[in-house]
Structure 1
Amino acid sequence: MLILLWGGLFVLTLVTLIVAADFFIKASERIGLAMGISPFIVGVTLIAVGTSLPELVTSIIAVFKGGATSGIVPGNVIGSNITNMALVLAIVGIMGKEIRLEFDVMRVDLPMMVGSAFLLLLCLIDGHFSIWEGGLLLAGLALYLTYILALSREGKRNAMAMELEPEEREALPVFSWKDPLILLVSGVVIYFSAEYNVRAIIELATILNIGQEVIALSAVALGTSLPELIVSIVAVRVGNAEMAIGNILGSNIFNIFAVMGIPRLFGEILVPPSILSFSLPAMIVVSILTLFVLQDKRLTRWEGWALLLVYGLFLINLFSGEVAASAA
């Protein structure tokens, strides 16, 4: 009975968290545009923040709770990145048959994604995550934000950042008192959803006798990757699979730099042994696999199926390893 109660609360708070984050981002976008901020700057900044907002808030709450609960943070980041690469990218490949990329992913996006994965490995390999290592990731975040504000995936984004024509400015949203209210209410809902989501994770881990990081690596990662999955499916259907792939790469980079770096400012982050022995190496392997898959600027259907198989193997090994550890 308890497992149904906490399982239901986990699903409910996760869905509420995702929906509230969507309202928060859209209200922020309308406020930014109404204030005259460049639509380009508003767009790229909110895409970077918005795709990782559920993971970020959940991780900050976990750090505030302290102790073993902070181990949710690396599980959240690593699980989300593996899910993005091995599940979301797989579905994009399967649905898109054969996708050809116009932008050069080998120029910055892919190397930065793989580089950020190895940087996280270096930060966590000793089983500790210091404040200085958190600062290093935040420096990487600053570098990445500078990049997405300065370049497009085809080259310079200067053309997109040009001043709007008068008639285009008239089409921008007019400031409404509803938007700050939506921003405030959705922010409160995000906080309490994350709070009770973390509490549900703790209770489920206790009932099932598994590590909290295992739930973070699987269920939380899958749930918080749903926005990327939905956006990617829609993008493929309208013939814009390139955008989906770009968002996946950007989300993974932002996860490592921001979702690991920012929560470290609020307290210690535990690095569970299972993260070092399996999940982190698995993320490195999947990152390298993604590099090889996309380096020719193509994503085929069979490559999508191969990535989906990798995701299945990851989940099987994750839970079989946890069952073996519990039995021992």
Structure 2
Amino acid sequence: MDVLLYLGIFIASLAVLLKASDWFINSAEEIGLSFGIPPFLVGITIVAFGTSLPELATSIAAVFGGESEIVSGNVIGSNITNIALVLGLVVVLVKEINLENNIWHIDMPHLWGSAFLLWFVMRDQQVDFLESILLLVGLVIFLIYSVKSNPSDEGTVKYRAAPRSYLLLVLGGALVWLGADYTIFAIQKLSVIAGIEPKIIALSAISLGTSLPEIIVSLNAARRGKTSIAVGNVIGSNIFNTYAVMGIPSFFGNLEIPLDIIQFHLPLMVVMTILFGVMSNNKNINRWEGALLLLFYALFLGQLFKTAL
């Protein structure tokens, strides 16, 4: 009965977390536009950060709950899931992705750089204050470079945001933190009952659950023929996960990095990132390459199950 109770709390709190994140993103986007912020800038800041909000919220809640090893599992697991599962699934379903822009001009070098920087930061099994600052500086550099290199050519349209938007912004933000808190609480209880380490749940259930916004957005974009949006969503989400979700929680406490994450999961994330770059080099990703990505995700899950047994 205890297992069913805490499993129900986990599912319910994760659902609240995802729905509240959706409210927060939409209302913040509308409010930003009402203040005259260019749509492109809103997209790469509010929306991109918003899609990583579930990961950030659960990571901060994990630090306060004394389970800081969940943070690294959350980030690494989400990044692997975004590339291997989200992108792989999209490519297999739509047969191929033809990129309109050459992502090697800006986005892919930043994605590779963030992955390599994370590897060096985590090599000593902890993330200190200086390393957190470096991660956040990397995020600022990415945002500034993106704004300067991709100026919006649309006129800024000013309008008054509805009072409902402000209400949903506050309500969504509050429910995000509440959902994250209960998600971590349920994970702690389930891990004790099942004898499974919290990091395993973070690498699997949390990373999959918090990647649901990316999965939904990417599949909807691909269904409408806007496959480049799906690729951009994966790149932006992984960069924000690496810089913000790994950097910010360390200000609330020390982050411990499990040894097996450094030995297997982190190298796998780096390999997946490099493979993603190689596949997109010719501005085309085909179905067979998507199947290969799904194969890597199966390897990732298989390793998790092996560790849990």
Q: Which TM class, normalised by the smaller chain length?
A: over 0.9
Provide the residue aligned with 2:300 in structure 1. Answer: 314
| CA offset digits 1:150-181 (Å, max 9, x no partner) | 223xxxx2424xx34xxxx4xx5423322222
Deviating above 6 A after TM superposition, structure 1's stretches of 4 or more consecutive aligned residues are: none
| CA offset digits 1:59-105 (Å, max 9, x no partner) | 11111223xx0111000000000000000000111122122212112
| Preserved CA contact (<8 Å) 1:150 1:158 | no
What's the CA shift for 1:189? Answer: 0.9
What amino acid is aligned across from residue 4 of structure 1 in structure 2? Answer: L
What's the CA shift for 1:22? Answer: 0.6
2: distance between equivalents of 1:47 and 1:179? 15
What's the CA shift for 1:239? Answer: 0.7
1:181 aligned residue (167, 179, 203) = 167
What's the CA shift for 1:257? Answer: 0.4
Provide the residue aligned with 2:46 in structure 1. Answer: 46
What amino acid is aligned across from residue 163 of structure 2 in structure 1? Answer: W
1:265 is paired with a residue whose SS is helix
TM-score by length of 1: 0.90
TM-score by length of 2: 0.96
Identity %: 47
Provide the residue aligned with 2:210 in structure 1. Answer: 224
2: distance between equivalents of 1:177 and 1:259? 30
1:300 aligned residue (265, 286, 302) = 286
2:263 is paired with a residue whose SS is helix
Provide the residue aligned with 1:11 in structure 2. Answer: 11
| Preserved CA contact (<8 Å) 1:30 1:173 | no
- Do structure 1's residue 159 and structure 2's residue 157 form an aligned pair? no
| Structural RMSD (CA) | 1.4
| Preserved CA contact (<8 Å) 2:21 2:51 | no
Structure 1 unaligned blocks of 5 or more: 324-328
Provide the residue aligned with 2:143 in structure 1. Answer: 145
What amino acid is aligned across from residue 44 of structure 2 in structure 1? Answer: V
| CA offset digits 1:104-137 (Å, max 9, x no partner) | 1222212221221111110111112111111110
Structure 2 unaligned blocks of 5 or more: none
- Do structure 1's residue 269 and structure 2's residue 267 form an aligned pair? no
1:99 is paired with a residue whose SS is strand
1: distance between equivalents of 2:254 and 2:39? 37
What's the CA shift for 1:265? Answer: 1.5
Aligned residues, how many? 309
What amino acid is aligned across from residue 246 of structure 1 in structure 2? Answer: G
Provide the residue aligned with 2:199 in structure 1. Answer: 213
Provide the residue aligned with 1:82 in structure 2. Answer: 80
Provide the residue aligned with 1:326 in structure 2. Answer: none
1:75 is paired with a residue whose SS is helix
What amino acid is aligned across from residue 265 of structure 1 in structure 2? Answer: F
1: distance between equivalents of 2:16 and 2:267? 32
1: distance between equivalents of 2:39 and 2:278? 34
